[in-house]
Amino acid sequence: MPTPPAPMPLSITGTGALIVNLYCAFLLARWRHSGSSLTKAAFLSARNDALANLGIISAGLVTLLWQSIWPDVIVGLAIAAMNVDAARAVWNAAREEHQAELARFV
């Protein structure tokens, strides 16, 4: 039977990572609409990492009260879905960039 992660190390690590990722997201926020797929990807990555850290902290706290693997599994699935959505947004931005670049040469 799977065992739940240790709640306190999970929450403490998530809190440290949250601080770093929020700092990065705030640094990148002013360039997120610059039109470049790379800057959009960098911002979305930092933002999604910060949101994932909030989920990880929450999963750790819930695991403190309810010894189960499910909070961690649910947060992991939510992080995966969020990253798929971000990948779609970056793909679309890159495609638009590519089409605009092609149009310049036509």
Do residues 37 and 90 lie in contact, with contact meaning Cβ atoms separated by under 8 Å? yes
Q: Is residue 100 part of a domain?
A: yes
Q: Is residue 9 part of a domain?
A: no
Give per-residue pLDDT as tens, 12-36.
999 999 999 999 988 888 877 776 7
The pLDDT score that the predictor gives to residue 35 is 66
Q: Is residue 66 part of a domain?
A: yes
- Residue 47: burial class (beta carbons within 10 Å; 0-12, 13-18, 19+): buried
More confident residue, 105 or 21: 21
Q: Is residue 23 part of a domain?
A: no
Q: Is residue 67 part of a domain?
A: yes
Domain of 60 in residue numbering reads as 30-105
The pLDDT score that the predictor gives to residue 104 is 86
Q: Is residue 60 part of a domain?
A: yes
Give per-residue pLDDT as tens, 39-69.
888 888 999 999 999 999 999 999 999 999 9
pLDDT category, 2, cuts 50, 70, 90? confident
More confident residue, 32 or 10: 10
Give per-residue pLDDT as tens, 61-96.
999 999 999 999 999 999 999 999 999 988 998 898
pLDDT above 80 (res 1): no
Q: Is residue 4 part of a domain?
A: no
Contacts of 74 (CB under 8 A, 6+ apart): 59
How many structural domains is the chain composed of? Answer: 1
Q: Is residue 86 part of a domain?
A: yes
